[in-house]
Amino acid sequence: MAKHMNLGGFTKSVLAEKYRIKRNEIGEDARLAKFGMVFTTRSYEIKGTGHLCIMRMKAFGGIMKMETVIIAPYGMDAPLMNVDWVGVLGKETLMVEFYDSQLSPWPDELQAEFRSIASGDADLADRASGSHWYDSIRYSCSYDKSGKGLTERFNRTAQAYIRTFCRQLSELPGCTRKERQEKRQRIGDFAGELYAQGGPAVDMITKLFGRETAERVIMRHLYGV
């Protein structure tokens, strides 16, 4: 029986093929636990490129599990990438989302690479997720599916998305110092809006650990701003 892959470990290993990865010290925020819910967070600097965060959550003895991987590029003009996997009682959800944080438009030929990957799962219905504040900046080549018995397919799709995005990063020219500052500001604006608007994970962390901790986790650890 297929098992959910370690998305964070895979992403880190792919990035390490091209970049030096340095772990950030985040103190007690590395493990937050309350009421049977445990969040573990690892934050890294991708030298010359940006920020990597790997967050995992386990609740109620493993009945519910979550893994989030975020690549926030500051060193080149690429979109923000969020990968989320959730498993609850045999049902899995995989979301790979790209958000417009660039200074220039993302070339369609680069987006087309992800549409090609997603086409392999065209037989799976898109997950009904309603409307969100970020819909206008979420790229259509993102991926959002859920179901049972999809572990092997989700592993394969997640690997393809992550490896393709990391390759694209390595092929893009670097940003100037001014452009890096502008990129950081754009990602900071996204993270700030996420904190202000809320969402399932944001609301959960805020309720459990308070607004100050939630803001620090979201802004500093998840997105590196």
Q: Could you state, in order of their start, the residue ranges of all structural domains in the chain?
A: 7-176
Cα 69-192-186 angle, rounded to 5 deg: 80
Rounded to an integer, the average pLDDT of 26-44 is 95
Whether the predicted pLDDT of 222 surpasses 70: yes
Distances (CA, A) of 90 to 12, 43, 66, 82: 26, 29, 13, 23
Helices and strands, counts by H and E, the chain: 6, 8
Is residue 57 within 8 A of residue 65, CB to CB? The reply is yes
Task: State the Cα–Cα distance between residues 192 and 139, nearest whole angstrom.
Answer: 19
The pLDDT value given to residue 128: 81
The count of residues in the chain is 225
Give this prediction's pTM. 0.95
- The residue with tokens 């989320």 is 84
Tokens of 189: 């604006």
Helices (H), the chain: 7-16, 108-119, 151-171, 177-197, 200-209, 211-216
First to last CA, the chain: 40
Task: State the Cα–Cα distance between residues 137 and 205, nearest whole angstrom.
Answer: 24
Chain-centroid distance of CA 161 in Å reads: 11
DSSP 49-89: TEEEEEEEEEEGGGTEEEEEEEEEESSBS--EEEEEEEEET
Task: State the Cα–Cα distance between residues 65 and 88, nearest whole angstrom.
Answer: 7
Tokens of 203: 């609301």
Collapsing DSSP to helix, strand or coil, 132 comes out as: coil
67-88 pLDDT tens trace: 999 999 999 999 999 999 999 9
Domain 7-176 has CATH 3.40.1500.20: yes
Torsion (CA) 100, 106, 108, 110 in degrees, nearest 10: -100
Rounded to an integer, the average pLDDT of 104-122 is 97
Query: 183 pLDDT band (50/70/90 cuts)?
Result: very high
